[in-house]
Structure 1
Amino acid sequence: MSEQAVDRRDAARGTQTQAQAQTRTQRVLFVDNYDSFTYNLVEYVSQQANTETAVVKNTASLADVRAADPDAIIISPGPGHPKNDRDVGVSTAVLREFSPDVPTLGVCLGLEAAVYEFGGAVGRAPDPIHGKASTVDHDGTGVFAGLEQGFQAGRYHSLVATDVPDCFEVTATATHGNAELVMGIRHREYPIECVQFHPESVLTAVGHDIIENFLAAVDGADE
């Protein structure tokens, strides 16, 4: 084979390898905290190219999570308080055992579980909010990259983070009366981001963008 032919072959192989890397399927595992919104989140992720989704209930074991071999994890909303094992199940163990290495997005109870698991406090919101849009201010990075400041987001919660541990930075807030409520956090070292509002709600104008940003970060973590 001529030297030029070898060069063309190697170039073609390099292009093929690059294309395969760019189209590698991301395995996204959902931990379902028995919430009616979980499958809306699954649908949002499934609409993105090159994604494969799986769902385990929060009654699953860490072995079940390990067997799924996820590239990313999403911890769903749900009822209850993160201090109660019956409410969060395996969610807190996943945050402890997997999330330091596997990019993780916590939603609503998922945020509260992260705050609680890493040593913070979760308490009652000034008022329970279920199905109300609020203005969210954010830091413009991570899952909020490229999003308009002060977007509208759907809130469905009666608990909030009242003491965010130092290992997290607050990335988003919303004003409720005279109180400023935590709407987003990001771990300073681990690939963990969480939001208190629901990206998958029709009340959230930029929900698909938030999911796209999270999955883009997963791509970056894999490189």
Structure 2
Amino acid sequence: MILLIDNYDSFTYNLYQYLLMLDKEVLVLRNDNVDVAEVDRIEPELIVVSPGPGGPESTGACRVIVETFKGRIPILGICLGMQVIAHAFGARIEKALEPVHGKVRVIRHSGSGLFESLADPLNVTRYHSLIVERASLPDCLSVDAESDTGEVMALSHKRLPLWGVQFHPEALLTEGGISLLGNALKQADAWRNRE
């Protein structure tokens, strides 16, 4: 089962539908209606931290869940969810060069992990005014995709099963969004089945 933590975002149920299309059972809980004990009880195969308004400080239990379950349960952060992951590892969040809401933009990516078999460059849909400050990223986090202006569009942990994307894979105009989510599930499965 996938635990989808809803940060009160209108895109959460688009994400829910995409995950169902990948033949997964999905439980949606709001960020103020989930805690560490509940996640322990559920034992999800993947935690997805949804987009939402505001910054990481407005995500209820999300940061505590990332800090508690990093290295125990794979975690994927989307938009605000990526910012939560980066913030939990000490990165700063700053205003983007320009707010981008509902715009399709090109990103360049690593071609591996979440981006395996996806076109490069890739057209993605962005809805955000905040970004992860690249210079503040700790050594344990890798930049896996960036905008044409160098803003961080995806990251991953070098050793732990943690990934984040700043854009919306569940948005209709994002190319390969469902494939990216499928790649996240493959990465999570590979981590759980290691050794």
TM bin (shorter chain): over 0.9
Separation in structure 1 between the aligned mates of residue 90 and residue 5 of structure 2, nearest angstrom: 21
Separation in structure 2 between the aligned mates of residue 53 and residue 78 of structure 1, nearest angstrom: 18
* Per-residue deviation, 1:218: 2.1
Residue pair 1:155, 1:198 contacting (<8 A) in 2 also: yes
Max radius of gyration: which structure?
Answer: 1
Aligned to 1:212, the other structure's residue is in SS state helix
Aligned partner letter, 2:179: D
> Quick one: higher RCO (CA 8 Å, sep 6+), 1 or 2?
2
Separation in structure 1 between the aligned mates of residue 117 and residue 35 of structure 2, nearest angstrom: 37
Aligned partner letter, 1:34: Y
Aligned partner letter, 1:44: Y
Normalising by structure 2, we get a TM-score of 0.94
* Per-residue deviation, 1:67: 1.7
Q: Give the aligned length.
A: 190
Question: Can you list the C-alpha shifts for 1:150-193, whole angstroms capped at 9, x where unaligned?
Answer: 11000000000112222100000012xxx311000000111001
Separation in structure 1 between the aligned mates of residue 21 and residue 150 of structure 2, nearest angstrom: 33
Q: 1:145 maps to which residue?
A: 116
* Per-residue deviation, 1:217: 1.5
Separation in structure 2 between the aligned mates of residue 122 and residue 32 of structure 1, nearest angstrom: 20
Query: Identity of aligned pairs, percent?
Result: 37
* Greater mean alpha carbon deviation, residues 55-64 or residues 129-138: 55-64
Aligned partner letter, 1:192: L
Runs in 1 of length 4+ with deviation above 3 angstroms? none
Q: 1:66 maps to which residue?
A: 40
Q: 2:89 maps to which residue?
A: 118
Cα RMSD after superposing both structures: 1.0
Separation in structure 1 between the aligned mates of residue 109 and residue 41 of structure 2, nearest angstrom: 35
Confirm or deny that 1:222 pairs with 2:195. Answer: no
Q: 1:210 maps to which residue?
A: 180
